[in-house]
Structure 1
């Protein structure tokens, strides 16, 4: 099979959706499918080398900024250049399927599908407009975010559902329900995600250390963790929280840590290598993931790979992925006292943490393994041809 992928960000290390696209491409190539990827080059990114993968870089070169979208100018440049290159690739290589990521790549895919009569599938993993009536207002209040996003964001989300495509690909029942609620009329394929196979690292666990991995944007709700650590510190002075990631909320988070005098308890690592990230997860008691809006949360699976439980918000799909008191805990996203209580509980009962982590690893291997994921992707493509 020959598949053309369209994605502005294509990364093996950063982002959730971006990384999942990378996993799809890699698995297809490993199984001798021919894959083309039209993307913007990201500064300091390493790209896969495989005889079955051809990456076509189009202007402009982008800098990853913790989940901030490209500017309007960058989007227009990608649209024009990707459309031109896509027509060439389809014409020369008899492409079977066009698979696009959300927003501008979806529009490119829709036009290419119209011009070439190729099957077009669009991946949509979040409908941000449904994350609360003030989502876009909060989004543009962050450092470095253009105010125009408050107006064009919801419009773009609606347009994506109306662009020419034959099916939508999503990753959870929650995101499926959002697509239907938002007006999607085409078939929707729900395919549980997977991650690259990660060996469990042999490290010594620090029972008093916890970790957050993700973008530093408002809906990740990292502030609730800082408040919780401030409460825990009163009973457990050696409590530690490692924050891995970057984004527009970085200064706000740093200021909050300083204001609460938590510099000895909270370490902000910023971006780290994949190896360093997994090492930090393996050294921690558990992962904390308090997001209030999410398509899935791939870092949950990374925690499971290291036999670590995850404490999540009581919001689907996280609350569907974590079985309370079995593979982690499901808590009120805005209750710092509850988060503090369960952090303390795991600190004082590390054996419980290890047992839940083992159960999480079993879930990863049984439900989210790469073999199932790859076969579901292939089944989706074949059903549309």
Structure 2
């Protein structure tokens, strides 16, 4: 069926390298999943094409109206996406006219490497960039791949998508894209939402407690949180750090924990359910976001929704917009200040509680319903001319 017969409903195709079922999925995947759900609720049709993964997820699923096609691996998904789409244009595959209709809009999620969809889509393309990866390339890759990746992101992609609209999640990311040469008038900012808190109110731990929530990868810099605990251990003998999340960098983090002599103070939880996430966000005294770079800071607002303030780095992109510095949390400039501010807030119950109350009010500003509506309005504008 070809969607062109409808005046309101659109078929939106997201190209992303992962989905939330992927063990390495993170905030970017949550954003796509929640936006997709809101678009479906608004009457649109959504397909997500992403990489397959080894945990047994089927090649194709259809949950809550979002059709997920898993093709290729982490590295081959880009080529498989192009081949699948081109087969669909010929009416031969799952995106073809004979089955579900070609999309009205392709949302190309550029996680450092884009899908190069303007070369083959034949439809309007919206480039979704959470943040620029300038700082992350040398942290994750060697010299050659670092230079290649940065060239693709900072030079090639800017030129390939020069006729496309962009969407990002923060003004900080918008400014970075503009510095690369993307016309700022072509960039829309649609920030993350925050799901409503459905679990019961829970008490804080009876001992000082810290939380790092997110994927365990090098650029999240959980090492800084571990070194902070090591430095404060003598003055706070019952201090605990919960590291909630999974990722390929867990083994080095455990080794560092052992080397620092704080293994009895650090609890690695691995993947946690939504209920468990609510528990650790609610019970912790402080949340820590030592990440090198974030497009937004989803976990900061999730913590705020449980009245838990966060400490993060001022230069780390969108985190400065996910909180209000000195009111709902603290932004710092270096590791020494990071540790000092953790020490101060753990010792100041009155200030910490006041920050938590302000954080709760701040988090209420960001809802997925509002975010989805803004994204749907953007979808409508980008597809109206073609229709």
Distance 1:253 1:87, change over 3 A: farther
Which of 66, 69, 80 is the matching residue for 1:56? Answer: 69
Asked if 1 retains the 8 angstrom alpha-carbon contact of 2:289 and 2:311, the reply is yes
**Equivalent residue for 2:5?**
none
**Equivalent residue for 1:221?**
221
Distance 1:176 1:357, change over 3 A: same
Distance 1:193 1:84, change over 3 A: same
- How big is the shift at 1:174? 0.8
Give the secondary-structure state (helix, strand or coil) at the position aligned to 1:107: coil
**Equivalent residue for 1:344?**
343
Inter-partner Cα distance in structure 2 for 1:309 and 1:86: 49
**Equivalent residue for 1:65?**
none
Asked if 1 retains the 8 angstrom alpha-carbon contact of 2:82 and 2:120, the reply is no
Inter-partner Cα distance in structure 2 for 1:340 and 1:223: 12
**Aligned pair 1:22/2:33, yes or no?**
yes
- How big is the shift at 1:48? 6.4
**Equivalent residue for 2:128?**
123
Asked if 2 retains the 8 angstrom alpha-carbon contact of 1:199 and 1:305, the reply is no
- How big is the shift at 1:102? 1.0
Distance 1:259 1:220, change over 3 A: same
**Equivalent residue for 1:195?**
194
Asked if 1 retains the 8 angstrom alpha-carbon contact of 2:296 and 2:321, the reply is no
Asked if 1 retains the 8 angstrom alpha-carbon contact of 2:48 and 2:69, the reply is yes
- How big is the shift at 1:94? 5.5
Inter-partner Cα distance in structure 2 for 1:75 and 1:382: 26
Asked if 2 retains the 8 angstrom alpha-carbon contact of 1:125 and 1:175, the reply is yes
**Aligned pair 1:77/2:80, yes or no?**
yes
Distance 1:103 1:261, change over 3 A: closer
Inter-partner Cα distance in structure 2 for 1:124 and 1:296: 11
**Equivalent residue for 2:321?**
320
Give the secondary-structure state (helix, strand or coil) at the position aligned to 1:219: helix
Inter-partner Cα distance in structure 2 for 1:331 and 1:15: 24
- How big is the shift at 1:374? 1.6
- How big is the shift at 1:181? 0.7
- How big is the shift at 1:85? 4.0
Unaligned runs of 5+ in 1: 63-69, 142-146
Distance 1:288 1:48, change over 3 A: farther
Asked if 2 retains the 8 angstrom alpha-carbon contact of 1:136 and 1:150, the reply is yes
Any idea what the Cα deviations from partners look like across 1:260-309, whole Å, max 9, x if unmatched? 11011111222222322222111111210011222112111211221211
Inter-partner Cα distance in structure 1 for 2:165 and 2:51: 24
**Aligned pair 1:97/2:105, yes or no?**
yes
Give the secondary-structure state (helix, strand or coil) at the position aligned to 2:308: coil
Asked if 1 retains the 8 angstrom alpha-carbon contact of 2:88 and 2:102, the reply is no
Which of 87, 101, 111 is the matching residue for 2:119? Answer: 111
Inter-partner Cα distance in structure 2 for 1:348 and 1:78: 52
Inter-partner Cα distance in structure 2 for 1:355 and 1:90: 55
- How big is the shift at 1:180? 0.8
Q: RMSD over aligned Cα, in angstroms?
A: 2.6
**Equivalent residue for 2:3?**
none
Inter-partner Cα distance in structure 1 for 2:276 and 2:57: 16
Inter-partner Cα distance in structure 1 for 2:87 and 2:187: 28
- How big is the shift at 1:105? 8.4
Unaligned runs of 5+ in 2: 1-8
Which of 146, 149, 155 is the matching residue for 1:153? Answer: 149
Distance 1:296 1:356, change over 3 A: same
Distance 1:324 1:203, change over 3 A: same
- How big is the shift at 1:226? 1.3
Asked if 1 retains the 8 angstrom alpha-carbon contact of 2:215 and 2:245, the reply is yes
- How big is the shift at 1:87? 6.1
User: If the length of structure 2 is used for normalisation, what is the TM-score?
Assistant: 0.84
The equivalences for 1:274-353 within 5 A come to: 274-315=274-315, 316-335=317-336, 338-353=337-352
**Aligned pair 1:365/2:364, yes or no?**
yes
